[in-house]
Amino acid sequence: MKNQHDAARGYVFLLLKFRMRSRKEIEERLKKKNFSKYIIEDTLVHLTSTGYIDDHAFARAWVRNRINLKPCSRNLLKYELLKKGVDKQIIDAAVSDINDETEYITARRIARTKLKKIKPGQEEKIKAKLFGYLNRRGFKVNLSLQIIKEVLNYGHKSD
């Protein structure tokens, strides 16, 4: 029969098989499985020292995946990583490549993509849908309004 250390490590490897996780996420999952504080801390220390748990790599991967798969604002990325228990300094480093211009380009691209999927109709409904979409993705109000104005003026043209 497995001892508690092996069981905890095995469970963490199972979790990591599906996606990278933050140290805090792993700690919370181990607590839910009722492992003792000692086993949890020992497991976290061991897997961190061996590189299986790495909040820096996790944050970089999270940002990269979100930008590629479900683009959103820098603020939303920060919020998501904070919820996952990543340290603020690590988050700031992970999102450091996302500047105002990058956010503008991302917002414009996803607004144009969304506009193609919205059925033609009243302009106000289209504006509201685009605004809601950009808002849920964490973009600032002023940027969202600017992007909506641009994509509606240029229609479905691309750069």
pLDDT tens profile 33-77: 999 999 999 999 999 999 999 999 999 999 999 988 999 999 999
Q: Could you tell me the two tokens for 16?
A: 């990591």
Domain, as residue range, for 111: 100-154
Using alpha carbons, select from 50, 57, 64, 56 the residue that is nearest to residue 9. 50
User: Has residue 44 been placed in a domain?
Assistant: yes
**How many separate domains does the chain show?**
3
Q: Could you tell me the two tokens for 62?
A: 């999270």
User: Has residue 144 been placed in a domain?
Assistant: yes
DSSP, res 119? P
Residue 77 is part of a domain; what is its CATH number? 1.10.10
Do residue 9 and residue 40 come from a single domain?
A: yes
Do residue 44 and residue 22 come from a single domain?
A: yes
* Distance, CA of 147 to CA of 144 (rounded, Å): 5
User: Has residue 27 been placed in a domain?
Assistant: yes
Distance of CA 32 to the CA centre of its chain: 23
Do residue 13 and residue 45 come from a single domain?
A: yes
Predicted TM-score (pTM) of the model is 0.84
Q: Is the pLDDT of residue 115 over 70?
A: yes
User: Has residue 17 been placed in a domain?
Assistant: yes
User: Has residue 20 been placed in a domain?
Assistant: yes
User: Has residue 117 been placed in a domain?
Assistant: yes
pLDDT at 155: 54
Among 18-27, 95-104, 120-129, which is the least confidently predicted range? 120-129
User: Has residue 159 been placed in a domain?
Assistant: no
* Distance, CA of 96 to CA of 99 (rounded, Å): 7
Q: Is the pLDDT of residue 2 over 80?
A: no
Angle ∠(29,2,35) on CA atoms, nearest 5: 30
Based on the number of CB atoms within 10 Å of its own CB, is 7 exposed (0-12), middle (13-18) or buried (19 or more)?
middle
User: Has residue 86 been placed in a domain?
Assistant: yes
Do residue 150 and residue 104 come from a single domain?
A: yes
Do residue 59 and residue 40 come from a single domain?
A: no
